[in-house]
Amino acid sequence: MDGGDPVVGHGTEWGSGARRAATATRVGAALVVAAVVPTLMVLAPEPVPADTGAPGTVELLSVNGGGSDGGSWDYGNQVATSGDGRSVAFTTRRSLDPADAAEYQHGDVYVRDRATGRTVLISRGRFPYYGTGTPPPPPTAPVDTDSDAESYDPTISADGRYVAFASEARNIAQSPYFDNYGPKVIVCDRDPDGDGVLDETLPDGAMDYDYVIVGERRGEWESYTRSQAPSLSADGSVLSWVEAYAPESYQPVVRSVRLPHGEGGRLVTPDLEDITTHGPAWGWNQGEGVSRGPGPVTTDAGVAYLTPVPCGDPALRACGDADLRLDAEGGPVDIPVAAPAGSWYEVHDLTASRDGRVLAFALMVWSEGSGQQEQVLVHDRDPDRDGVPWPAEGEPLGTSTASRDPRGQDADGFHPSLSGDGRYLAFLTRAPGMHDGGDVPDPGDYYDPTPSPYAQAVVRDLVEDAAREAAGLPRLPAELVSRSRVVTCPGQSAGGLCGGDSAATSVSVDGDGSLVAFQSNAGDLVAGDTNGLPDTFAMQFRPGLSAAPPDFGTATEGGTVTRTIVVGHQGFGPVRFTGITFTGADAGGFAVFPADGCAGKVLHRGDTCPISVRYTAARAGARSATAVLAFDGGTTPVPLAVRVEAVAPPTPRAGTLALSPDVLTFPGPRLALSPTPDLVVEVVNSGGSPVAVTGVAPVTGVGLFPGDYRVVADSCTGQVVQPGARCRVTVAQQLRGAGSRPGALLLTSDAPDGPRVIGLAGSGVVARLVVDPAVSRADRVVRVLGAGFPAGADVRVELPAAGGAVTARTDAAGAFSAPVVVLNHFGVGTVQVTASVAGTDVTATAPLLLVQGSFQPPGFTSRG
């Protein structure tokens, strides 16, 4: 999986101007018409307002170990980002490592470690090549050298430890069967000792890397296999690829395998018997000319890939049409690829979220009179976010065109890449007016003389797009990724944001959308890029937090004042709130109370979260402090000020709401799902003017459990509370877990002093589990005893790897007793028995030690 969270299937390589040639597929007349990109437009000549863009930094990645830019001559569409954004893999012909001596002779795979500033050669030669069938000499310590042939198609795990790639080199991984008939897939382990340190050096100076060949065939004809386009899962445990010359059918197929790991996660070569064959790979041919279709993508839900529709399809679709297939645990999920009737199409660059919920690809369409058009399509298998994906009965499939301009019109888009969480989508576009920067005109060439902007890398927030569309708000321009250092673009006012002065060729997003790696021919993206060659870059977005100072007004000496800081997002991309502190002479009087609705939250553009702050007035006078909002990458100060008077002030003229009590504390601890008495909070207008209450809503955040509480009566929302009057909010509790289970409600109104936070407190009984006996051998029955579970509930009791699962029913006290059979295929050792209740967080574990029985004659069979 590229980016470990983000997943990208490799497609045809692109050159300058991002143009390609490939095989077309005719679309039958029975297909549903999908949205199509309009013909490219000529740039508008009138100047447009300048836009400085969201905060972010472009950095050059294809540099040598010392950080010098010697030029990289990077391949297009050959970049992959780890999920944590630390490591970026790319392919280049330039030597950026002392072991890579054959500069420009062939492509190699490199990784740039952004944390250490180090660029390392991954496709490094380790052993001599002895030819097919020639036994190698006894293994010796590897000595780093240059590989002897092309390596490409990099994919990287989320933590950057594992890098897989296709290679025609014969001296990277030692094998007597590795011949010169075609590429093989190789996996590199950058941390074979598992100590968490990448790219360590052995005493002899060689890199401490392990390599394994995956899917190697060992027969006379099987040696002709061509394995390409690998895709790693985020955790590096599963690898999929295209075998472009499969021996059993001579048709390209998609295969996958779970990679075995030894101690410390060290790679072990998988057995051929463990390889899973999926379906035919759409768009690939068997010959040396290699018409490459999109590669597969490995998600947590299964392997996604494009596969041809079989002839005789009952839906009357044409032979060779494409289905987007996800081979999930419950069976294959097929999404038909639709295009206008009577046209030809290709599918490129399949990408998916880590969980397989969101899938995207580029659709290129040809039709008579319209020429070539390309757009980026997105399929969301769970658009309502209820956790039940399409095609479950009644579940929708969200389908949209992501490459649309701010007017909502379909526009040019290609080479998509999704973030691991499926929220952010990066792609390339040549369409004018697509992003928040100025377009840079491409004069065209012999093959395409029509002027259009250079292809630029952009990124969109798909969740924001859907929310704005549902609210009837206009579509925002995409964020420009391939940003020039030039601040005056052609046709734009000075001081703005400009695209690069040549074409971008590929993109890859990390796990959460904060980093976008890309390759570009532009020479004006960073200072000192004078090599005149394509390079690999990364755009690191640097969003922040914003908050208006709350008005604490006046407090009485010895009293308290509570206000809410509404924290907002600033910039573009995800930003994680990490905490709030108070500084200044009077900081001791301020504290978070009753709840912090921002704790642990990740905010995106347009998001807000509340923090309730109470000031306890110790003495009269003007008091002030600063609330410091911390986030990944910085802090935001929020000034706080309050006037403390020695005597009670007169009734304020403005309306203000007070809560009684501030926190509703439910009796406990109680069994999960058990009923509790409803509690009531009174809301009083203690000010001098009417206040309109606009809503009461649960607050989400780390450490809060909104699902445990429910508003069952509300006489406040929609009401105007007069001075001295009151209304009520009644809350019911149904715990879904154990231990402390706090919650909070946000009461919003038009009061000048802002919203109020109602604290909620409750605790649940901790479930317990006992196995009797605690020591057993296989083929025996043990009894599992549980207590502290919900009353009258079904408890699922599981013995992973050593038994099945049984369901037990608890009594009125939350206890149960269930027999479990210990199967004989586990072996010996300690296993954990688990018990859980669906729809709750209630779970418990207990150890069971499995031992081997004694061996007795005459047959020396095991006896318990």
DSSP state string for 175-227: -TT--SSS-EEEEEES-TT-SS--S-B-TTS-B--EEEEES---STTGGG--E
Q: What is the pLDDT of residue 705?
A: 95
Cis omega (within 30 of 0) on the bond before 661?
Answer: yes
Distance CA 444, CA 451 (A): 5
667, 677 Cβ separation under 8 angstroms:
yes
- DSSP annotation of 548 reads P
296, 9 Cβ separation under 8 angstroms:
yes
CA 694 to chain centre: 35
Q: Coil, helix or strand for 296? A: coil
Residues 6+ apart with CB under 8 A from 367: 340, 342, 343, 344
From-to residues of CATH 2.60.40.10 in the chain: 544-645, 657-764, 768-863
Q: What is the pLDDT of residue 756?
A: 95
Q: What is the pLDDT of residue 803?
A: 61
CA 42 to chain centre: 36
Topology adopted by domain 657-764: Immunoglobulin-like (2.60.40)
477, 436 Cβ separation under 8 angstroms:
yes
596, 701 Cβ separation under 8 angstroms:
yes
Q: Which CATH architecture has domain 7-541?
A: 7 Propeller (2.130)
Q: Coil, helix or strand for 272? A: helix
857 burial (CB, 10 Å; 0-12 / 13-18 / 19+) is exposed
Distance CA 290, CA 284 (A): 7
E strands in 108-148: 108-113, 118-121, 124-125, 145-146
Distance CA 451, CA 431 (A): 11
Q: Give the pairing type, strands 371-380 and 398-401.
A: antiparallel
Nearest to 625 by CA among 637, 609, 636: 637
Q: What is the pLDDT of residue 41?
A: 27
The reported pTM is 0.81
Residue carrying the six token digits 């052993």:
127
* Lookup: tokens for 139: 């293994």
Distance CA 696, CA 701 (A): 16
* Lookup: tokens for 644: 């403390």
641, 549 Cβ separation under 8 angstroms:
yes
Q: What is the pLDDT of residue 321?
A: 73
Mark 193-217 as b/e (b = at least 16 C-beta within 10 Å): eeeeebbeeeeeebbbbbbbbbbbb
Distance CA 356, CA 111 (A): 26
Mean pLDDT by 10 residues, the chain (864 residues): 37 25 28 27 33 83 67 63 97 86 79 95 78 51 76 96 93 65 88 94 90 70 72 96 68 90 84 88 60 85 88 55 84 82 79 96 80 89 89 88 95 96 97 92 65 91 95 96 85 75 94 96 90 90 95 90 96 96 95 94 96 93 95 92 74 82 94 94 94 96 92 97 96 95 96 94 95 87 94 90 80 94 72 91 91 54 46
Tell me how far apart the terminal alpha carbons of the chain are, to the nearest angstrom. Answer: 47
DSSP H/E element including 96: none
Q: 357 to each of 54, 218, 282, 435, how far by Cα in Å?
A: 28, 37, 21, 26
Residue carrying the six token digits 């020591």:
775
DSSP for 709-752?
Answer: EEEEEESSTT-EEPTT-EEEEEEEE---SSEE--EEEEEEES-T
Q: What is the pLDDT of residue 799?
A: 82
Residue carrying the six token digits 């005459």:
858
Q: What is the pLDDT of residue 311?
A: 62
Q: In what order do the strands lie in the sheet with 816-822?
A: 768-772, 780-787, 816-822
Nearest to 415 by CA among 61, 90, 87, 14: 14
Residue carrying the six token digits 């317990």:
768
Say how many C-beta atoms besides its own lie within 10 A of residue 504's C-beta.
30
Q: What is the pLDDT of residue 128?
A: 63
615, 670 Cβ separation under 8 angstroms:
no
**Sign of the torsion formed by the C-alpha atoms of 485, 488, 492 and 494:** positive
Q: Which CATH architecture has domain 544-645?
A: Sandwich (2.60)
101 burial (CB, 10 Å; 0-12 / 13-18 / 19+) is exposed
Nearest to 793 by CA among 835, 833, 843, 837: 837
Q: Coil, helix or strand for 248? A: coil
348, 364 Cβ separation under 8 angstroms:
yes
Residue carrying the six token digits 């836009």:
51
157 burial (CB, 10 Å; 0-12 / 13-18 / 19+) is buried
Distance CA 160, CA 40 (A): 39
From-to residues of CATH 2.130.10.10 in the chain: 7-541
Q: What is the pLDDT of residue 323?
A: 83
Residue carrying the six token digits 């690999």:
536
Residue carrying the six token digits 């759409």:
282
Distance CA 63, CA 117 (A): 9
Backbone angles phi, psi at 91, to 5 degrees: -115, 135
DSSP H/E element including 258: strand 253-258
Distance CA 569, CA 396 (A): 30
| Per-residue pLDDT reduced to its tens digit, 236-282 | 999 999 987 655 556 788 999 999 888 888 888 888 888 999 988 88
354, 7 Cβ separation under 8 angstroms:
yes
83, 3 Cβ separation under 8 angstroms:
yes
Distance CA 770, CA 778 (A): 18
DSSP H/E element including 592: strand 590-596
Residues 6+ apart with CB under 8 A from 34: 338, 339, 340, 363, 377
Residue carrying the six token digits 């490199």:
110
Residues 6+ apart with CB under 8 A from 730: 678, 679, 680, 711, 712, 713, 714
Residue carrying the six token digits 């540099």:
63
318, 309 Cβ separation under 8 angstroms:
yes
Q: What is the CATH number of domain 768-863?
A: 2.60.40.10
H-type alpha helices, 432-555: 462-470
Distance CA 679, CA 697 (A): 16
Q: Give the pairing type, strands 227-232 and 238-243.
A: antiparallel
Residue carrying the six token digits 């007016």:
433
Backbone angles phi, psi at 431, to 5 degrees: -75, 145
**Sign of the torsion formed by the C-alpha atoms of 363, 365, 371 and 372:** positive
522 burial (CB, 10 Å; 0-12 / 13-18 / 19+) is buried
Q: Coil, helix or strand for 323? A: strand
